[in-house]
Amino acid sequence: MPQDAPLAGPAPEWEAALWHLAVLRDTLLAALLRRARRVAAAIPAWARMPLRRAGLLVWWSVTLQLPRRAASFLAARRARAAAPTRPWHRGPTGPVPAPERIALPCADAPVLSIVVTSFGRVDHTLRCLAAIARAAIALPTEVILLDDASGDPSLARLARVPGLRLIVPPRNLGYLRACNEAARQARGEFLLLLNNDTEIAPGAAEAMIGLLRARPDAGAVGAKLVFPDGRLQEAGGIVWRDGSGWNYGRGDDPSRPEYNYVREVDYCSAAALALPRALFAELGGFDARFAPAYYEDTDLAFRLRAAGRKVLYQPRAVVMHLEGLSHGTDPGAGIKSFQEANRATFVRRWDQVLAAAHYPSGESVLRAREHARGRPVVLAIDHYVPQPDRDAGSCNILNYLDAMCAAGLVVKFWPQDRGYRRGYTEALQDRGIEVLHGGDAGAFEAFLAAHGGEIDHVLLSRPDVALATLGALKRHTAARLVYYGHDLHFRRLRLQAQVTGDLQAARQAARTERIERWIWRSVDRVLYPSAEEAITVAGMEPSASAAAVPAFGFADFGAPRPPPAGTDILFVGGFAHPPNETALLWFAAEILPLVRARVPGARLVVAGSNPGPRVRALAGQGAAIHADIAPAALRALYQSARVAVAPLRYGAGVKLKTAEALREGTPLVTTAIGAQGLAGIERAVAIADDPAGFAAAVAALLTDDALWAGRCAGQIGYARERLTIARLHAGFLEGAGLRAPARAAAA
């Protein structure tokens, strides 16, 4: 469906006509594109990039896109410069550190045991140890080096490294048994296995152990391996059905989105692998049938999965690896010759698992890189990466992303603005969500053209996002389309026009109604946060499949408590959302004076993102303004406030500020608009729509301790019953028609 179809009105004949026009347009564009490609093919390769750049500059200038494109380019360059993707400015032949100058950690009661194995090559080993020292690991750590009876005369240099536990067995064990022996002598809770031809970046060890601690289902965590020049060597490994493997991303740019989110993988190289020491011992270490080397780490990953654990890739752990230094690169010589024989051994051992849970070589890479055969893939689309400390809609979407991740779905997130937001983007990536940021205006269509066949479900958020993407989604995917509206936008705009007399809002309401109705007819499932809104959708568009889903949920709640001593009145809201500023100014002008007539010391406290000049001006009238505060600081304000207020005059959907006050037990006074979508809330909070009634309810809570205590306990009880994470996750998955996948047999 073309983007502007809804503006023609809801009549089906208009939609059909516009659809045919869109098809004709796309056909003509395709023909022009084919002609352009033939012309481009005749241009010498050295001239293509300069011509392309010149053409883009002309086009962006003519279409007035140049300022926005320049800002995006500069932001992306700053992000790349800040990312430590090329930390090794010197090559492998750089200066060898003096052993005495390498100050290794040497804890009496280590949490982490770093295990390095070597066979001579002392210079490389010293560089490896020096990198460990530079990393300044913030965990009690010991470093164990087992040199496998190399007989290298320069081995005595390693004995001079302060803090190193050097082990030299009386006879050569081979790589596999050497790792097992060094691990057996370790004392830490966790092992970090490192090749001696690696150099670990600062923060890598903490990132790997942090992920193991955060994920009880994790059996091992692997690092992002890079070459000395900064190119990617491996972002987790793929094992194909024939037992062959891929070092995923080899030779590519390690800053690309697909290499920078936590994900389950088939295996990770033991060149840099962390796992619980007790678990490694319980499994008997690496299996000796793969001695002396090759496929021992792959087999370990499969045994971990058979024991109910996962192997995870941690992109925050960056390790440089001089690939091939230890065993060479010739598959017909030395230890490398065992690679093919051990692959055959591996296939015989795991043939049933390979057939059930792995793809033929090179197929379905998007799923294969996440060990995701049999797991549905969901593409979630919103206007930008969620910023849960800045707006309620972000909290809402983040809750649903968490629900899908917890259910075992493979989740991809597309920010409509294609923007990278420091801290917020990483928060999704650390959850296991690929954030598809960056790229030009055609990136979305290109992504769908390449991967649309792998997408099972799409979660669309907000009318403008659905309007911009539905056409491409229908062209390139057969995915089931789920639309979450947050609220009935047209109804909110209509109420805004009635309250403020804004004629532009009235016109926008009419346009938005046409868009929303078209979206409801175009998708497979429509979701809203209240039963009232779902019923409205069904009444307006009987063909639409609509359901109500919980909007907010919490993992913990406030406790019933005595009232605080002060008289602070707390207003919370993101001021990029117009209803919040209107509500606050109405409260300050018409309600607060009535409250102060009864309680002279009453003080207004305002917390929220993006406060404009009119909000900030309230500070001169005695209000305290807290802009862009952290979640912990906001919870502290709820705990210290005597009353929370949500004096909304227009809006739609469930309000986060209302849910938060219920959760914290801070007695709330709100309007009927603020109470929308929460059944039975009138028994827990005060609701008033006129200034006098609202002020009386606030004043009563400021002065009546018994009333305050009763409301505090009642709100917490309401929240504990209705606003839990478990209830939200289950309600959303059921409403959206998403189910936790049955993992492939023996996966």
Model confidence band, residue 84 (pLDDT cutoffs 50, 70, 90): very low
pTM beyond cutoff 0.85? no
Structure tokens at 368: 């294969």
The residue written with tokens 């598959």 in the block is 331
Sequence letter at residue 341: A
CB 457 within 8 A of CB 423: no
Q: What's the pLDDT at 12?
A: 42
Tokens linked to 415: 């920010």
Across 132-136, 162-166, 201-205, 391-395, least confident range: 391-395
Cβ contact 560:713 at 8 Å: yes
What does the alpha-carbon distance between residue 232 and residue 198 come to, in Å, rounded to a whole number? 14
Does the structure show a pLDDT above 60 at 21?
no
Minimum mean pLDDT range among 78-82, 279-283, 599-603: 78-82
> 354 pLDDT exceeds 90?
yes
The terminus-to-terminus CA distance of the chain in angstroms comes to 40
Residue 745, pLDDT above cutoff 50: no
**Contact (Cβ atoms closer than 8 angstroms) between residue 714 and residue 379:** no
Do residues 741 and 409 touch, judged by C-beta distance below 8 A?
yes
CA dist 522 and 501 (Å) reads: 33
pLDDT digits 0-9 by tens, 26-50? 455 545 655 665 666 566 655 655 6
Query: pLDDT higher for 39 or 307?
Result: 307
Instruction: Take residue 520 and report the two structure tokens written for it.
Output: 């409801």
- What is the CB neighbour count within 10 angstroms for residue 335? 15
- For the chain, give the mean pLDDT: 88
Backbone phi and psi for residue 312, each to the nearest 5 degrees, phi listed first: -115, 150
Query: Do residues 112 and 192 touch, judged by C-beta distance below 8 A?
Result: yes
Contacts of 608 (CB under 8 A, 6+ apart): 571, 572, 573, 574, 575, 580, 615, 626, 627
Six-digit token string for 7: 């503006």
Confidence of residue 70 (pLDDT cuts 50, 70, 90): confident
Distance CA 168, CA 544 (A): 72
CA atoms lying within 13 Å on the CB side of residue 411: 29
**502 confidence band (pLDDT: 50, 70, 90):** confident
Nearest CA to 546 among 494, 490, 484? Answer: 484
Provide the pLDDT for residue 8: 37
- Structural domains of the chain, with CATH: 5-64 (no CATH), 99-368 (3.90.550.10), 377-548 (3.40.50.2000), 568-723 (3.40.50.2000)
pLDDT at 729 over 80: yes
Which of 529, 291, 545 has the alpha carbon at shortest distance from 537?
545
Residue 4 is predicted with a pLDDT of: 38
CA 79 to chain centre: 17
Judged against a pLDDT cut of 90, whether residue 571 lies above it is answered with yes
Mean pLDDT is lowest, of 21-25, 286-290, 355-359, 455-459, for 21-25
Write down the pLDDT at residue 440.
83
Report the b/e string of 623-634 with b at 16+ CB within 10 A: beeeeebeeeeb
Judged against a pLDDT cut of 90, whether residue 1 lies above it is answered with no
Q: What is the pLDDT of residue 11?
A: 44
Q: What number of other Cβ atoms are within 10 A of residue 143's Cβ?
A: 27
pLDDT at 325 over 80: no
In this prediction, residue 55 carries a pLDDT of: 72
Q: Hey, what are 490's tokens?
A: 């047209």
- Residue 740 confidence (pLDDT): 63
Structure tokens at 251: 């030779």
> Residue 744 gets which letter from DSSP?
P
Under DSSP, the state recorded for 363 is S
Structure tokens given for 337: 């010759």
In this structure, the number of other CB atoms found within 10 A of the CB of residue 94 comes to 12
